[in-house]
Amino acid sequence: MLDFALTDLLLILAGVIGTAIIAGILAGLLGVGGGIVLVPVLFWVLSITNFPPELSMHMAVATSLATIIFTSISSARAHDKRGSVDRSLLKLWAPGIVLGALSGGLAAKYINADGLKVIFGGLALLVAINMATPKTLVIRDDLPGSRLVNGVISYVTGVFSALMGIGGGTLSVPLLVGFSVEVRRAVGTASAFGFLIAVPAVLGFIYAGWGLSGRPPLSLGYVNIAAALVILPFTVGFAPLGAKIAHSVDTKWIKRVFAAFLAITAIRMLMSALG
């Protein structure tokens, strides 16, 4: 384990709390998973301290996934009460999602920090473009009829969600809506995907980072338990505020501003990996 200076620990703590508050508000405001906010900001916070650069991205992704285990349960229960979790779709995609997420977590052992930045940056840029585009892309009028095709799609979704440190919504909602799944049903079902992604992915990241030197105290593999415990109360506590704001302002412009933030962050991350 690495010994951190008190100033570094305080800076990381302040950054984690600030990030968790923003992630909670945006989760309620825009319906995006907290991971899409937590990962890049945690990465930049760690980057301005003496934290080992080869561990920053992996720790940010894995710790984000650990928080998603609990927030996704709360979100899925709320959506299920409103009847917006499609159980047949959940059963259809669950095996691929779980296997994909576990594969993504285990693959982290063989992907260096720059590789993980390229994956996150590239996909985050696509998410930003999708968020800024007013018209929804339609792939076809319904889901593919083949279980094998659905298995491949859900597996790939699980792999990249795990490698990005995000829950089910950021990638699967646009994908499901593209297959003409009604948006509330897509969001509700994706909230349950979050749990199916996070649990196997976290196990994979724990195994992948087990025994590595340079990790902060209270770490299991790449997952930092202390940071996850700090994040959770703020993401859960501030999500209702975001939902309240969503009912009082036009979220179209907020979504575009967030898309711009995400695009800039993605481009900077790609440049740092490829430069």
pLDDT digits (tens, 9 = 90+) for 171-208: 888 888 888 888 778 888 888 898 999 999 999 999 99
CA–CA gap between residue 236 and residue 240 (Å, rounded): 8
Name the token pair of 102.
């576990």
Alpha helices in the chain (DSSP H): 6-30, 35-47, 53-81, 87-107, 113-132, 147-164, 169-178, 183-209, 225-246, 251-274
Indicate whether 71 pLDDT > 50.
yes
Find the angle CA(257)-CA(261)-CA(265) to the nearest 5 degrees: 170
User: What average pLDDT does this structure show over 93-114?
Assistant: 94
Q: CB 79: neighbour CB atoms within 10 A?
A: 19
Tell me the pLDDT tens digit for each residue of 198-237.
999 999 999 999 988 888 888 999 999 988 999 989 888 8
Q: How far apart are CA 130 and CA 72, in angstroms?
A: 23
pLDDT reading at 36 higher than 60: yes
What percent of the chain is predicted at pLDDT more than 90? 32
pLDDT greater at residue 175 or residue 159: 159
Convert 29-54 to b/e letters by CB count within 10 Å (16 or more is b).
bbbbbbbbbbbbbbbbbbeebebbee
| 31 φ/ψ sector (left φ>0, alpha ψ -120 to 50, else beta) | left
Phi, psi of 223 (to 5 degrees): -90, 125
Best CA proximity match to 118, nearest among 246, 268, 260, 252: 268
Residue type, 156: V
Share the mean pLDDT of the chain.
85
* DSSP-derived secondary structure letter, 137: P
* Cβ contact 17:249 at 8 Å: no
Residue pair 43/57 in contact (Cβ under 8 Å)? The answer is: yes
CB 189 within 8 A of CB 178: no
Q: DSSP character for 215?
A: P
Rounded to an integer, the average pLDDT of 42-68 is: 86
Q: When comparing pLDDT for 242 and 95, which is higher?
A: 95
Residue 1 has pLDDT above 50, yes or no: no
Burial (Cβ within 10 Å: 0-12, 13-18, ≥19) of residue 113: middle
Q: Would you tell me the crossing angle of helices 87-107 and 183-209 to the nearest 10 degrees?
A: 30
Amino acid, single-letter form, for residue 234 = F
Give yes or no for residue 130 having a pLDDT over 90. Answer: no
Higher-pLDDT residue of 59, 33: 59
Q: Model's pTM, two decimal places?
A: 0.85
Report the pLDDT averaged over residues 90-104.
96
